[in-house]
Structure 1
Amino acid sequence: MKKLTSKIIRTLCTISTIAIIPVAILEIYEIISGTAAVDPHLGNLTEGIFWSLFAVSQLCNWYICKHNREKAAL
């Protein structure tokens, strides 16, 4: 069961890390072009997706690092 959990966490980490790049580019584009000021709901949606992906990525990285430290201690 632990191996399955590790595989799921690593997969989530990879997917969230890859998916955050286009969302970050879209966020930067909204800031530069000024569309966030015109349509604040679109900006809120983009920001919500960005920060959700960021949180998932960071939590997965924390778990992976913790798991590696426990493995090294043995």
Structure 2
Amino acid sequence: MSSPCHDVTKQFTSGSAPALQAVNLDILTGARIAILGPCGSGKSTTLRVIAGLEAVFSFAPGAPSVVPS
């Protein structure tokens, strides 16, 4: 089992630069991961999307996604 995340884009306000753009992750159940990057690169936003705390702007049609119900 895995937590798929395919072509996820997150934009906080219309017309602003995307916080996440076309992010793809496939994390196996039980796996330990680290998300590294500079300030403002979208690390916390990625984790919030995976946890279902943030809705996403778009994702690949038909692909499993992390969009909250």
Q: Normalising by structure 2, what TM-score? A: 0.27
Instruction: Point out the structure with the larger strand share.
Output: 2
Bigger Rg, structure 1 or 2: 1
Instruction: Point out the structure with the larger helix share.
Output: 1
